[in-house]
Amino acid sequence: MHSRRLKIALIGAGSIVFTRNLLGDILSYPELSNCEIALHDIDEHRLRLAEKVAHRIATGLGAKPVITASINRRSALEGARFVISTIQVGGYRPATVTDFEIPKKFGLEQTIGDTLGIGGIMRGLRTIPVQLEMLRDMEDVCAEGAIHLNYVNPMAMITWALNLASTRIPTIGLCHSVQHTAQELANDLGIPVGEIDYRCAGINHMAFYLKFERNGEDLMPKLREIQREGRMPAWNRVRYEMLRQLGYFPTESSEHFSEYVPWFIKNGRKELLEKFNIPLDEYPGRCQVFEHAWPYIERELENPGSQDVRALEVELAAADIHVMPRELAHAARLLEGLDTIVRSVEFGSTIIHSMVTGKPSVIYGNVRNHHLIDNLPQGCAVEVPCLVDASGVQPTRVGALPVQLAALMRTNVNVQELVVEAVLKQNREHVYHAAMLDPHTAATLDLEQIRVMVDELLQAHAAYLPQYLHL
């Protein structure tokens, strides 16, 4: 491994926010600063933008990587030791728009639609077959001991399917919900996040903090006090309610979590949306921000220092687009911060650095449940602490979760399993079963509505689905 240049492939490099963060993280390590970065995207225009971003980051860090860009995925993968995927099959238009608009006709509203629910199901059906093809290419042309680091949602479905399909190439699913939520809770408590000792486990986007301490003091009572007194941020009411009801705090954001359960988004119950401050159609709103931001980003790459995020704000206001502050902040960082690299909280570079150097680290990863969590199904995808060193990513055993948490997670695992089976067994009927058992869908629609809706979605997505899922 040390006799040749380390190669890292980014599949879906046109996802500029991820590409910027991940490359900034990777190239900031001296041991990785001279690696080969192979960028791939099926959109050649976006790929060229990503290439410009990569060169600008490398220059800003004083790194000397070899940077290549290719629309040929197999070429990008050839010889790679680490493969990072950030793809979105079908993109915002038309696929994600379809995931929201068709269910809405049936009275089924969503917030994000990328993990569970009917939107997560459809995204899984579009994405898993594409990643299975990528996995076959990896098996053929990647370096010995290659590893796949997946950032693509629906994380649990994808991680489950790919690890079931390949024994040679392990897939580690990576998310930032654990790290981000720890920081958010630290802010609520007025405590530096570095002083907090925590431990989480569960499934992706539905893991819970089993321990949250400072100098041996349990901080959960203070979080419960915040909930009782109503001092939580308005955007985080759902998760604080789950702390009250279940006794533990979930890791994924309130807008995400609200659509994984049957209690918060109900047709005709606007008072629930107001009480818990749930933003419907939030993900399409995020995407609209970046649709407007792209021309600014392109001009900034062509002429550094020429663009001002305030002009983007004015344009968004004129277009009457609801803007979440953090999405505008993402766009602002792309416009104003390309030359100022700050390490992100993503675990991808940490894994690569630990495996290459042997310096140990601990990350949270999504892996197959091989006797890691006792009261979740064996073989499903679970999110647990993992030790990383030269031997690879080694998940740690958690044991049994509190029974109420495991019971809730199993309602999501059921849906994940049926999507995985629909793809790997090429059984379209399991798509209907997944939608029938989805907590949010089942709380809103009857069986006939579910079948009609699924048929309409499968027809609309036919161009992005394998033949066995066609009507």
List residues with catalytic annotation.
Answer: 176
Residues 19/22/26/28 CA torsion (nearest 10 deg) = 90
- Spatial distance between the Cα atoms of 438 and 414, rounded to a whole number of angstroms: 8
Q: Are 373 and 399 in contact (CB under 8 A)?
A: yes
* Residue 354 CB partners (closer than 8 Å, separation 6+): 360, 361, 388, 389, 390
Residue 69: which H helix or E strand, with range? strand 66-70
Largest CA distance in the chain: 64
Q: Are 118 and 435 in contact (CB under 8 A)?
A: yes
Q: Are 251 and 177 in contact (CB under 8 A)?
A: yes
Please identify which residue in the block is written with the tokens 């049926």.
Answer: 418
Question: Rounded to 5 degrees, what angle do the CA atoms 26, 28, 33 make?
Answer: 70
Residue 334 burial (CB count, 10 A): 22
Helices 155-165 and 403-424, packing angle to 10 deg:
60
- Spatial distance between the Cα atoms of 41 and 217, rounded to a whole number of angstroms: 48
Residue 401 is given by DSSP the state P
Q: Which of 426, 468, 409 is nearest to 206 (CA)?
A: 409
| C-alpha count within 13 angstroms, C-beta hemisphere, residue 408 | 24
Q: Cα dist. 377→167, 264, 457, 460 in Å?
A: 19, 26, 29, 33
Beta bridge partners of 381: 368
Q: Are 219 and 213 in contact (CB under 8 A)?
A: yes
